[in-house]
Chain A
Amino acid sequence: MDSVLKRYLFLIPVAILLGLIVFYPVLRCAGLSFTTHDGLGFGNYARAFGDARLAATLWNTTVFTVFSLVLEIILGLALALCINVSFRGRGIVRAIVLIPWALPPAVMALGWTWIFNDVYGVASDILYRTGLASEKIAWLATPGKAMLSLVIADVWKTTPFVAIILLAGLQSIPKSLYEAAAIDGAGPVRRFFMITLPLLRPHLLLAVLFRGIQAFGVFDLIWVMTRGGPAGSTETISLYIYRIIYGYLNPGYAAALTIIAFLILLAVAVIISILNRRQHELA
């Protein structure tokens, strides 16, 4: 048999599997998104364009994603650099660092809800006792602070994940590069910016991609901590879609919003992979 044909033949099982797992649900969802109460059509998409709540939830989701992503990358990188250095008990420290990541989201969200409580909460108590705040702060009660609290909780939970990805990247950088740079007289800061950061770029992009997609779809954390409040200020796209299906029993419109969110994420993913490819071409 022709070897090219054979090659494609071997791909068939994978193609079937991927088709069933990935493409079928997406296509099914796309099909559903064209069903309205009046029959088939673009009604759901037309409605989405005039939906102020959709715009608000997309904005909230973007704010949450950008802020938590930036903080997670910075802190994750710092953490990765720390646990990359060899010291006594490094294995244990690496394991401990992973604990927040291993906790079930709903459990840790409940914990943070109490941390941010005004009367019993540790967060407001520390600020109050140290005199940094003149009164006890109800963190989840105002829109700005509620969003900040959610970002903090998310950063606490997922920074270890970013750190682990970046740690893998750090370990793949040859030591000889640093030695050569040091001999040439480059200091630690210069070495970081000239060697570590450029060589870590694929891993950074990977972390951004993974975490970005996850943060964009955040549900459990917000569902437990604020339910989208106060005044709808922390309602994300996932919460809204959930409510449309199970609250308002309108799967068609929910499917349309899912497809819109999917396209947004796809666009971001494409941009990131183009950035990544350009890096390879440069290298």
Chain B
Amino acid sequence: MNWFFRAIIVLASAGLIVGCTGEKEATITILISPDHIKGWKAIGEAFSKKYPNLKVNFEAPSSSTDDRQTKYTTCFLAEDAAYDLVYMDIIWVPKFASKGWLEPLDDKFPESARADFLPGDIEGSIYKGKIYRVPMQSDAGMLYFRKDLLEKAKLKPPQTFSELMRACTKLQKKPDLYGYVFQGKQYEGLVCNFLEILWGYGGDVFDSDGKLVINSPEAVKALGWLVDAVRNYQVCPMGVTTYNEEECHRTFQEGHAVFMRNWPYAWSMTQQEGSPVKGKVGIVPMVHAAGKKSAATLGGWGIGISKFSNNKKEAWKFIEFATSAPIQKLLHEREGLIPTRKSLFKDKDILEKSPHYGKLYKVLLGARPRPVHERYTEISDIMQKHLSASLIGDETPRQAARLMAVEIEVALGQK
């Protein structure tokens, strides 16, 4: 009988060992943009090396943000577990969280762990006191300018709205060189552009108590400035009210504009070999009204966990891994994406390759999330419509501000 007991002991201990080390085998799925797929795959490989039983499946069907939002939404509406991880644009957080589609991360990502992250990115990840994503990639609007043209005219980079307008009227030579390009098409980008001006005048959409304050003298002034740029001083190309980021970038890169409001992605392209403005570009935070502060609209992405996921523990392991400093640095090196950890903006390797990160850091510290509201999409659509109407001269800034307030009030009153 002895051999029998021995065999049982051997088998049992073998089972114990396997049970301890061999954790659950799992594949976790995330939906991302195909633009940066190589960098993400590298992260996935490094992750599987650390956790051999876990695999990450990157689905990258479309570089359109709207498409990916639609895909996530469809899955959530069907309560489907297709995606364990949710790679979220900052404005999706309140919308998804209010529907209960996201797992709150407060116990895993306590305040002590958030200290190294940029404050705006954290603020934009919180909805009603709970945090739903860990920031992975930051983004904020800023003002690009032509260093060479300003130097030639002995002008300093502008700091206020009136300085910017003056520099535009002085330097532009239409139709080959326009003063200012921005995202004036009726879409989300227009709201991002407008918010920076609104904040720069000291206004806001909601005040700190959540009261709607869009119909304010500051809003009228802010929109008035933008309308002046397009219609009265005419420092923008005629078609600026149809431009999104790419049209702005192209106009600026071809040397047809002195100033451009855009996201940081445009920087590396203006500095590429063969770019007509290579070495002639500078960046500053978006201008502000005299006596007020600059503010940038925060974009940026973070990772959260789907409520319907069957692999929540494993998903968190990936989030922890991917948002760590070395991995964010890896993604930055591979894909040029902006990290969300403050420490990386002082990293020697990063600063050496991207000397403009010092200035970018200042922009990011002053960046603010768009109104954190579960019905932001509706609010934004209403704003887009009236901002656009104002830019094409259908409504005065005063009318537009009033109508925005009225329509947002009505929309939010409806369930």
Residues of chain A having any CB pair with chain B under 8 Å: 36-38, 47, 117-120, 135-143, 226-232, 243, 245-249, 251
- Could you say which of A119, A231, A243, A245 contacts B392, with CB atoms under 8 Å apart? A231
Q: Contact between B242 and A243 (Cβ–Cβ < 8 Å)?
A: no
Choose among A118, A227, A231, A248 the residue that contacts B239 (Cβ–Cβ < 8 A): A118
CB of B389 within 8 A of CB of A231, answer yes
Partner of B73, one of A117, A135, A246: A246
Q: Residue on B with the closest CB to A137?
A: B238
Please name the residue on chain B nearest to A117 by beta carbon.
Answer: B239
- Do A232 and B378 touch across chains, with their CB atoms under 8 A apart? no
Q: A141 contacts B415, CB within 8 Å?
A: no
- Are A141 and B378 in contact (CB-based, < 8 A)? no
Residues of chain A lying within 8 A (CB to CB) of residue B394: 143, 231
When chains A and B are docked, how far (Å) is the Cα of A138 from the Cα of B236? 12
B137 CB within 8 Å of chain A: no
Q: Are the CB atoms of A247 and B389 closer together than 8 Å? A: no
Contacts of A139 in B (CB 8 A): 239, 242
Of A136, A138, A232, A247, the residue contacting B175 (CB under 8 A) is: A136
Chain A residues within an 8 Å CB radius of B112: none
Q: Which of B239, B381, B414 contacts A47 (CB 8 A)?
A: B414
Whether, in the assembled complex, B342 has its beta carbon less than 8 Å from a beta carbon of chain A, the answer is no
Interface residues in B, total, Cβ within 8 A? 36
Contact (A229, B185) CB under 8 Å given A36-B415, A138-B241, A251-B77:
yes
Knowing that A139-B242, A231-B389 touch, tell me 4 more A-B residue pairs with CB under 8 angstroms. A229-B388, A230-B241, A245-B73, A248-B377
Inter-chain contact A246/B185, CB cutoff 8 Å: no
Chain A residues contacting B391 (CB-CB under 8 Å) are 230
Residue of A nearest to B69 (CB): A246
- A119 and B251 contact, CB distance less than 8 A: yes
Seen from chain B, the residues whose Cβ lies within 8 Å of a Cβ on chain A are 66, 69-70, 73, 77, 95, 99, 175, 185-187, 237-242, 247, 250-251, 256, 375, 377-378, 381, 384-386, 388-389, 391-392, 394-395, 414-415
Given contacts A37-B415, A143-B392, A249-B73, A119 and B239 within 8 Å (CB-CB)? yes
Most chain A beta-carbon contacts within 10 A, residue among B175, B186, B392: B186
Q: Which residue of B lies closest to A149 (CB)?
A: B242
Give me 9 A-to-B residue pairs in the complex whose CB atoms sit less than 8 angstroms apart, sorted by A's number.
A117-B242, A139-B239, A226-B242, A227-B187, A228-B186, A229-B242, A230-B242, A246-B69, A249-B95
Q: Which residues of B contact A232 (CB under 8 A)?
A: 186, 385, 388-389
Residue of B nearest to A227 (CB): B187
Partner of A227, one of B185, B256, B378, B414: B185
Chain A residues, CB < 8 A from B377: 243, 247-248
Check A230–B73 contact: CB distance below 8 A: no
* Closest CB pairs A-B (n = 8): A229-B186, A118-B239, A138-B239, A231-B389, A247-B377, A37-B415, A140-B242, A138-B238
Judging by beta carbons under 8 Å apart, are A141 and B375 in contact?
A: no
Are A231 and B238 interface neighbours, CB within 8 A? no
- Minimum CB–CB distance for B58 against chain A, Å: 22
Which of chain A's residues has its CB closest to B400's CB? A231
Residues of chain A within 8 A of B386, CB atoms compared = 231
Closest partner residue, chain A, to B76 (CB atom) = A249
Do residues B239 and A142 form an inter-chain contact, with CB atoms below 8 A?
no
Expressed in whole angstroms, the Cα–Cα distance for A251 and B185 within the complex equals 27
Q: Is the CB of A141 within 8 A of B241?
A: yes
CA distance A120 to B237 in the complex (A): 11
- A135 / chain B contacts, CB cutoff of 8 Å: 175, 238
**Could you say which residues of chain B place their CB within 8 Å of the CB of A248?**
375, 377-378
Taking the nearest CB of chain B, how far is it from the CB of A180, in angstroms?
56
Q: Select one of A38, A138, A229, A246 contacting B187, CB under 8 A.
A: A229
Cβ contact within 8 Å between B186 and A141: no
When distances are taken between beta carbons in the complex, the residues of chain A under 8 Å from B77 are 251
Residue of B with least CB distance to A120? B250
Min CB–CB distance A133 → chain B (angstroms) = 11
How many angstroms from the CA of A142 to the CA of B77 in the assembled complex?
37
In Å, the complex CA distance between A142 and B241 comes to 9
Q: Which A residues lie within 8 Å of B384 (CB)?
A: 229
Which of B175, B251, B415 gathers most chain A CB within 10 Å? B415
Least CB distance from B371 to A in Å reads 15
Contact in complex: A141, B187 (CB < 8 Å): no
Q: Is the CB of A230 within 8 A of B389?
A: yes
Give Cα A120–Cα B238 distance, bound, in whole angstroms: 12
Q: B187: which A residues are within 8 A, CB to CB?
A: 227, 229
Whether the Cβ atoms of B238 and A118 lie closer than 8 Å is yes
Neighbouring A residues of B247 by C-beta, 8 Å: 117
**Given known contacts A118-B237, A119-B256, A136-B238, is B70 in contact with A227 (CB within 8 Å)?**
no
Contact B238 A230 (CB under 8 A): no
B240 surroundings in chain A (CB, below 8 A): 138, 141
With CB as the reference atom, state the residue of chain B lying closest to A242.
B70
The smallest beta-carbon distance between B345 and chain A, in angstroms, is 34
CA distance A37 to B69 in the complex (A): 22
Question: In the complex, what residue of chain A is closest to B411 when comparing beta carbons?
Answer: A248
**A97 and B409 alpha carbons, distance in the complex (Å):** 51
- B186's partner among A117, A231, A243 (CB-CB below 8 A) is A231
Chain A residue at minimum C-beta to C-beta distance from B257: A119
In the bound assembly, the distance between CA atoms of A232 and B238 in angstroms comes to: 19
Rounded to whole Å, the gap between the CB of B92 and the closest CB of chain A is: 11
Choice from B95, B251, B392 contacting A230 with Cβ under 8 Å: B392
Chain A min CB distance to B39 (Å): 26
Most buried by B among A47, A117, A137, A247: A247
Q: Is the CB of B186 within 8 A of A227?
A: yes
Check B69–A141 contact: CB distance below 8 A: no
Considering the complex, give the chain A residue whose CB is closest to the CB of B71.
A246
CB distance from A52 to the nearest CB of B (A): 9
Q: CA–CA, A119 to B251, complex, Å? A: 8
Q: Within 8 Å CB of A117, what residues of B?
A: 239, 242, 247
Min distance, Cβ A241 to any Cβ of chain B, angstroms: 13
CB distance from A165 to the nearest CB of B (A): 33
Q: How far is the CB of A245 from chain B (nearest CB, A)?
A: 8
Contact status B70-A246, CB under 8 Å: yes
**Cα A81 to Cα B247 with chains together (Å):** 41
**Most chain B CB atoms below 10 A, which of A38, A119, A136, A243:** A119
